[in-house]
Structure 1
Amino acid sequence: MPFVRIDALGTDPARLDALGQAVQDALVETLGVPPEDRFQVLTGHDGTTSTLRYGDHLGLRKDESVVFVAVTMRAGRSPGLKRTLYRRIAGLVHERTGTAPRNVVVTVTENTSVDWSFGDGEAQYAPADAEPAGTSS
């Protein structure tokens, strides 16, 4: 159940929806995330009251179609699987919005089961009465 934040220049709802769906489809295809596990914050920046700043880091020239995708998920995926995810996100974003892959910046932040609460003030993946993983009596 990854949590995704997508920031893009422009506030076109159709583009934001296409970006969100592209990322969700990439997560489903590459990581096996259940399709209904969609938790996203999509933010369009108008360039005046809010904007994005970017440079040409590593020689990858960005332009006004830049998209920042931040994925937070539980730890455990291999580097190869993450690389596959990055390629799939960039490919689907390009296919569905015309955004050049060089303009798709993806970051992954990993955490553990206790770092998630889906409501009711509970850590559903790590209940308080359960023994912490890796310990034994």
Structure 2
Amino acid sequence: MPFVRIDTLRSDAGRLDALGRAVHDALVETVGVPADDYFQVVTGHDGTTGTLRYGTFPDMARDDGVVFVAITMRSGRTPAQKQAMYRRIADLAHEYAGTEPRNVLISVTENESIDWSFGNGVAQYVASPL
């Protein structure tokens, strides 16, 4: 169950796949996501009809290798788990896709069990009423 969106500039299919694998592998390793819990939207922007905007906050020299990772997941992970997840995503993005860790921006949005439906109009994490 995390739902992940990954956006990057001018990336071929191989880089997009590598970034998706990097994020998923890090989630499995650091915050206990099951290996088959794999929901991602991975988008490469061409810089013309779609692009990414980025600055240097907080004193971080990014370039067009920038990758935005937005993770939505149920609440409950500790600050230490999140820190490990951020580090591992950056490390694996570098290892798998050649992305400089300084170019990996990650945000996490947390929600509750009732906020998820995996199909059939059912909130699978919530007990059905009698």
TM-score by length of 2: 0.97
Identity of aligned residues (%): 64
| Residue type at the aligned position of 2:75 | A
3-state DSSP class of the match of 1:85? Answer: helix
Structure 1: runs of 5+ lacking an equivalent: 131-137
> What residue number does 2:92 align with?
92
Deviation at 1:99, TM superposition (A): 0.9
| Residue type at the aligned position of 2:29 | E
State how 1:3-42 maps to structure 2 within 5 Å.
3-42=3-42
3-state DSSP class of the match of 2:58? Answer: helix
Cα deviation per residue 1:52-85 (whole Å; 9 max; x = unaligned)?
Answer: 0000001101100000000000000011110000
Query: What CA distance in whole angstroms lies between the structure 2 residues aligned with 1:128 and 1:58?
Result: 46
Query: What CA distance in whole angstroms lies between the structure 2 residues aligned with 1:11 and 1:65?
Result: 9
Structure 2: runs of 5+ lacking an equivalent: none
Deviation at 1:127, TM superposition (A): 3.5
Deviation at 1:96, TM superposition (A): 1.1
Cα deviation per residue 1:20-41 (whole Å; 9 max; x = unaligned)?
Answer: 0000000000011111110000
3-state DSSP class of the match of 1:59? Answer: coil
Query: What CA distance in whole angstroms lies between the structure 2 residues aligned with 1:45 and 1:128?
Result: 41
> What residue number does 1:135 align with?
none
Deviation at 1:11, TM superposition (A): 3.5
Deviation at 1:126, TM superposition (A): 1.1
Deviation at 1:10, TM superposition (A): 1.2
| Residue type at the aligned position of 1:26 | A
> What residue number does 2:49 align with?
49
> What residue number does 1:61 align with?
61
Query: What CA distance in whole angstroms lies between the structure 2 residues aligned with 1:114 and 1:52?
Result: 32
Q: Greater Rg, structure 1 or structure 2?
A: 1
Query: What CA distance in whole angstroms lies between the structure 1 residues aligned with 2:94 and 2:108?
Result: 20
> What residue number does 2:108 align with?
108
